[in-house]
Structure 1
Amino acid sequence: MKYVAVTACPTGIAHTYMAAEALEQAAKAAGDEIAVETQGSAGSTPLSAADVQGADAVILAADVGVRDRERFAGKPVVEATVKQAINDAPGLLEQARHAARAKPADAASAQPESTEPALSSKVVSGAGFGTRLRQWLMTGVSYMIPFVSAGGLLIALSFALGGYQITDAPPVTEQFDPTSLISWAALANQIGSEAFTFLVPVLAGFIAFAIADRPAIAPGFVGGAIAVTVGAGFLGGLVAGLLAGAVIAGLKQINVPRGIAGIMPVVVLPLLGSLVVGVLMFVVIGKPIALAMSALTDWLTGLSGANAALLGALLGAMIAFDMGGPVNKVAYTFAVGGLSIGNTASLQIMAAVMAAGMVPPLGLALASVVRGKLFTPAERASGRTAWLLGASFITEGAIPFAAGDPLRVIPSIVIGSATTGALSMTFGATLRAPHGGIFVLPLVGNPLMYLVAILAGVAVSTVLVLFAKQLGRNRAEQPAPESAAVPA
């Protein structure tokens, strides 16, 4: 059999490529051929027309929408999540095989309903409301992350070059000296700050995009910009995106004359959607959301001592719990969203989340080195890769260990990550970069204690997982009690 597949996760960093590798290995083991397109954060190389034409079936393993779906028209399609592809790639191939054999005789001649290019993000069809809501939100976050990365790293770099007072520098359009390091620091700070102004509009625009396609982009961006104007911030962007998507989705249900239908997506829907969302955000819901955002900001600013440590422990435990899954993404999204606030507490939360996310792969990699006999050869091989994944803040590097022994591994890494999160908050480490792991250490505030927090969590995870595995091994090796003699 010949297959083509597309894999895509919300952040496009780890699960996308792990799912692709799992499908490729399963196809090779079954003697089948497969070509996989990874729609990740680094872009993708599209499947060739020949691959698509010659495929017996299509596998879409995605937690967000798949770009250019219309090219698969007429082909049997199997849809799944990236986690299903990672955990049961042979099962997906078997589903695709059955779908190919059950293909209607005229399927090959089917044509797409429209020649308009497919959207870059849609919700998987048939999903429940909760799943769709998560996919809508994560689509917005995935498009926002590059702006956070660019802006946050530039601002952090400007602080490293010119100190925190660089924010008071005059505009570089009025005063810039190419020979001055301070001028370059000011330039980096002002570029980064401009990048940050797009965070909320991009978030809102692409949440709306995920709900109602391209006509919702303009209302979403407008709603996000108004959220910034009225002080509703990140929460306002979330609401504006959902509101814009719902408004456009509702307007698209109205039947219009054929002569008007052609201008609906590019003129009428963006116009009416922007008007409705703008009025609601300015007049009705903007200010209440701004008050809620202000309360959240005040709460974060007031965190100190035990409260800060408790929050760090909770976020750290969430990051480790499902290693890139929905719970992990909730904690990560909360931290990234806080970067738009920009106060010290928000930067401390980002630092705690990233530090905690590095712990599971690093702790398990260390454990597989210290007591290799407690791990399978495949786990020891995964441990060698987990060093780099952990250092890069790719928590998914712990998945191969957790999949084989979840009851011992998951509690161990959860406690270790919670330890790191609590210590990082207690030490007051700060970070503006939303990704990068240990490689953005020069941009961390209080970097020495930040490293201490990470090492402490790694040590805790290592000790706990080795203890749990050794305990389980001892019980397995314990001889069964001799049966009592039966009297004659």
Structure 2
Amino acid sequence: MKLLAVTSCPNGIAHTYMAAQKLTKTADEGDFDIEIKVETQGSIGVENELTPEEIRQADGIILAVDKAVEMDRFHGKKVLQCAVADAIRKPEALFQRFVDGNVPVYEAKVEKDTPLKSNDADEEKKEKGQNPFYRSLMNGVSFMIPFVVVGGLLIALSLGIGGEPTAKGMVVPEDSMWHSILMVGQAAFTFMVPILAGYIAVSIADRPGLAPGMIGGYIAATGSFYGSEAGAGFIGGIVAGFLAGYIAKWIKSIRVPQMIQPIMPILVIPLVTTLIVAFLFIFVLGAPIASLMQGLTGFLEGMQGSSKVLLALILGAMIAFDMGGPINKVAFLFGAAMIGEGQTFIMGALAVSICIPPLGMGLASLLAKRKYVEAEREAGKAALAMGLVGITEGAIPFAAGDPLRVIPSIMVGSMTGAVIAMLSGVTDHVPHGGPIVAVVQAVDNIPMFFVAILVGTLVTATMVNLLKKPVQDG
């Protein structure tokens, strides 16, 4: 049997390539007599791209993706859609569905502007294998992240190198070269919400949703449109993206005369959708959402003591629980979005908790080798390297083999590190974690940043080794 696969996660870093490796390895082991080629759509673009001839000859396609991917090319083929984590944790079950013939044939109904009947829509939702809301949100996040990273790094570098301490904090003199770099960083941040909204809409309605989504996102982020001093922030961007996407998708489903069809996707759909989304935000949604964002920002600014500890505990637990999965991504999105609101202490706590699971499990495998099989000891070395660059997924091999001992241990470690970081004023200007963010000058209070990582790592390693038994004892 010849199968093809596409793997893609929102960040395009770890899950994308781990899923590809797992699918290839499982096929090579020979239990299913399957030949597979995997296309990865990671942060550096498409690699090992599937050719039209390979698609034509394939017996089926596995789409292990957490964001929107091009589907037209798979029309008429057996397509199994699932979360990227499924390809990492249970590739055998995915292969078995092809062996059993339990895979639906993909029909590109929506892309051909054919209205969906209600039962067709139900079937499409059923075949997604994943919450379409999450998929669309993560598509927007994946395109937003580079803008936040670039903007955050430029701002951090300009303040760290060219800034001067004043009564109002670090200020970059206007006649300095670093002031220009600061302005470039701030410009990058202005794209954050429009890009988020635009690519949420693209995930739902394809290209006709891009312009309405981005314009709606810009309106959401610009309070002057609806008489507010502050914009509606990332929450407004998410609302604008989904509004634009579903309105555009609805207009696409309307039957129109054949002579009008060519201008529908480039003129009618974007224009009508933009006007509707703009009207809703300017006159209905903008001001209430902006007030909500102002309240959230004020609440976060006023957090002290026990409230900060509680927030850190929640964020640390979410980051570690599914190691890059949906719960992790919700916490990560919150931290990344709040960078744009000036609340960088949230990302500071997340930056610590992100790297503790792989570092903790890597250290644990070194300290108590007899409690880990050879494959786990090798995975521990890789986990240490992944932890240094902030890839939480390095702990997945350990959690997959012993979830009841590993997951609580990494959660407690991440929660501990997050609390220390939160209480000691650690901040992070970019949406990433691990020691690497300190190397690029994105972190404030670097000594306590490393203290938090060290303590959290030791807590995880100690706890998991106390819970585990030597391999020979089961």
- For 1:341 and 1:111, locate their aligned partners in 2 and report how far apart those are by CA, in whole Å: 40
1:94 paired residue number:
96
2:36 paired residue number:
34
Displacement after TM superposition at 1:387 (Å): 0.5
2:211 corresponds, among 211, 218, 235, to 218
- Aligned: 1:193 with 2:192: no
2:348 corresponds, among 337, 347, 351, to 351
1:415 paired residue number:
412
Equivalent position SS for 1:389: helix
CA contact (8 A) 1:64 1:124 kept: no
CA contact (8 A) 2:87 2:94 kept: yes
How is 1:68-107 mapped onto 2 (pairs within 5 angstroms)?
Answer: 69-99=71-101
CA contact (8 A) 1:167 1:189 kept: no
Structure 2 letter corresponding to 1:414? M
Structure 2 letter corresponding to 1:261? Q
CA contact (8 A) 1:416 1:457 kept: yes
CA contact (8 A) 1:143 1:203 kept: yes
1:65 corresponds, among 65, 68, 73, to 68
How is 1:417-436 mapped onto 2 (pairs within 5 angstroms)?
Answer: 417-435=414-432
CA contact (8 A) 2:355 2:390 kept: yes
For the structure 1 residues 65 and 96, does the alpha-carbon distance in structure 2 shift closer, same or farther, using more than 3 Å as the test? farther
- For 1:216 and 1:186, locate their aligned partners in 2 and report how far apart those are by CA, in whole Å: 36
- For 2:308 and 2:244, locate their aligned partners in 1 and report how far apart those are by CA, in whole Å: 35
- Aligned: 1:204 with 2:203: no
CA contact (8 A) 1:350 1:434 kept: yes
- For 1:291 and 1:397, locate their aligned partners in 2 and report how far apart those are by CA, in whole Å: 40
1:383 paired residue number:
380
How is 1:353-368 mapped onto 2 (pairs within 5 angstroms)?
Answer: 353-368=350-365
1:279 paired residue number:
279
- For 1:454 and 1:55, locate their aligned partners in 2 and report how far apart those are by CA, in whole Å: 47
For the structure 1 residues 304 and 26, does the alpha-carbon distance in structure 2 shift closer, same or farther, using more than 3 Å as the test? same
1:369 paired residue number:
366
1:452 paired residue number:
451
Displacement after TM superposition at 1:304 (Å): 2.0
CA contact (8 A) 1:58 1:96 kept: no
For the structure 1 residues 133 and 114, does the alpha-carbon distance in structure 2 shift closer, same or farther, using more than 3 Å as the test? closer
CA contact (8 A) 2:193 2:218 kept: yes
Moved over 3 A (4+): 97-100, 110-116, 127-130, 164-170
Structure 1 letter corresponding to 2:314? L
Structure 2 letter corresponding to 1:77? V
For the structure 1 residues 314 and 214, does the alpha-carbon distance in structure 2 shift closer, same or farther, using more than 3 Å as the test? same
1:54 paired residue number:
57
Displacement after TM superposition at 1:423 (Å): 0.5
CA contact (8 A) 1:219 1:274 kept: yes
- For 2:45 and 2:130, locate their aligned partners in 1 and report how far apart those are by CA, in whole Å: 28
Moved more, 398-407 or 241-250: 241-250
For the structure 1 residues 103 and 312, does the alpha-carbon distance in structure 2 shift closer, same or farther, using more than 3 Å as the test? closer
Displacement after TM superposition at 1:90 (Å): 2.2
Structure 2 letter corresponding to 1:229? T
Displacement after TM superposition at 1:42 (Å): 1.5
- For 2:159 and 2:220, locate their aligned partners in 1 and report how far apart those are by CA, in whole Å: 28
| Residues 397-448 of structure 1: per-residue CA shift (max 9 Å, x gap) | 1111111111111111111100001000001011111125211203210000
CA contact (8 A) 2:216 2:274 kept: yes
For the structure 1 residues 381 and 281, does the alpha-carbon distance in structure 2 shift closer, same or farther, using more than 3 Å as the test? same
2:290 paired residue number:
290
1:468 paired residue number:
467
- For 1:103 and 1:327, locate their aligned partners in 2 and report how far apart those are by CA, in whole Å: 28
Displacement after TM superposition at 1:115 (Å): 9.2
- For 1:115 and 1:248, locate their aligned partners in 2 and report how far apart those are by CA, in whole Å: 14
Equivalent position SS for 1:255: coil
For the structure 1 residues 449 and 47, does the alpha-carbon distance in structure 2 shift closer, same or farther, using more than 3 Å as the test? same
Equivalent position SS for 1:38: strand
Equivalent position SS for 1:263: helix
1:334 paired residue number:
334
- For 2:87 and 2:300, locate their aligned partners in 1 and report how far apart those are by CA, in whole Å: 38
Matched positions, count = 449
1:14 paired residue number:
14
Structure 2 letter corresponding to 1:399? I
| Residues 150-201 of structure 1: per-residue CA shift (max 9 Å, x gap) | 111111111121126675543xxxx6xxxxxx41x22321111111000011
Equivalent position SS for 2:45: coil
Structure 2 letter corresponding to 1:305? G
Structure 2 letter corresponding to 1:138? M
- For 1:449 and 1:437, locate their aligned partners in 2 and report how far apart those are by CA, in whole Å: 13
- For 1:277 and 1:168, locate their aligned partners in 2 and report how far apart those are by CA, in whole Å: 38
In the superposition, the TM-score normalised over structure 2's length comes to 0.89
CA contact (8 A) 1:57 1:99 kept: no
2:120 paired residue number:
none
CA contact (8 A) 1:35 1:51 kept: no
Structure 1 letter corresponding to 2:14? A
Cα root mean square deviation, aligned: 2.6
- For 1:111 and 1:273, locate their aligned partners in 2 and report how far apart those are by CA, in whole Å: 23
- For 1:129 and 1:111, locate their aligned partners in 2 and report how far apart those are by CA, in whole Å: 17
CA contact (8 A) 2:137 2:238 kept: yes
Structure 1: runs of 5+ lacking an equivalent: 117-122, 176-181, 478-488
CA contact (8 A) 1:65 1:124 kept: no
* Identity, % of aligned positions: 45
Equivalent position SS for 2:398: helix
Rg larger for: 1
Structure 2 letter corresponding to 1:36? V
Structure 2 letter corresponding to 1:27? A
In the superposition, the TM-score normalised over structure 1's length comes to 0.86
Structure 1 letter corresponding to 2:283? V
